[in-house]
A = this chain, B = another copy of it.
Amino acid sequence: MFDPLASLPGYLLRRASSASLAELNRKLAEIGINHVDASLLMLTGANPGLNQSEAGRILGIQRANMVPLVSRNEARGLLRRQKLDGRSQALFLSSTGEDILQTVHKIADRHEAMLIARVPEEMRPYVIPILRGLWME
């Protein structure tokens, strides 16, 4: 059985991404969140007070889809919205959000370490540059 797709970077990218994502979500499920929640928490943790659509722009999530995302993390008590001016609002982590973020970082670090470990050592320095290159926007 010959798999002609196994030598296509685009296809490998997709399969690798979906496998890695599934694995990460299994780990994050232990604290009741998914990878999108995690990315929002990390971004907010690094940039307290950024506004909602900025966050969406950076994360590649549309305004409309940011609403339920922020809402559910606010409802969980992890995130706080604060009116910035009449139309925009800033995002902050709550204190439990800060705590959860520590756990998220632990999980993410473990995940990333597991990922990178699958790459032959001499190629590891190229992983990030290559993925950044492939990520066109």
Contacts and interface: CB of A to CB of B under 8 A. Distances in A.
Interface residues on A, range: 35 or more
Nearest to A129: B123
A75 interface: no
Interface stretch (A65-73, A79-87, A89-97, A109-117): A109-117
A31 interface: no
Interface string A119-130: 110010011111
Given A4-B42, A42-B4, A46-B4, A9 B112 contact: yes
B133 A13 contact: no
Interface in A20-34: 20-21, 23-24
B10 A112 contact: yes
A123 B13 CA distance: 16
Contacts of A129: 119-120, 123
Contact of A1 (B7, B17, B58, B130): B58
Interface string A44-81: 01110010001000111000000000000000000000
A100 interface: no
Interface of A: 1-21, 23-24, 35, 39, 42-43, 45-47, 50, 54, 58-60, 108, 111-112, 115-116, 118-120, 123, 126-137
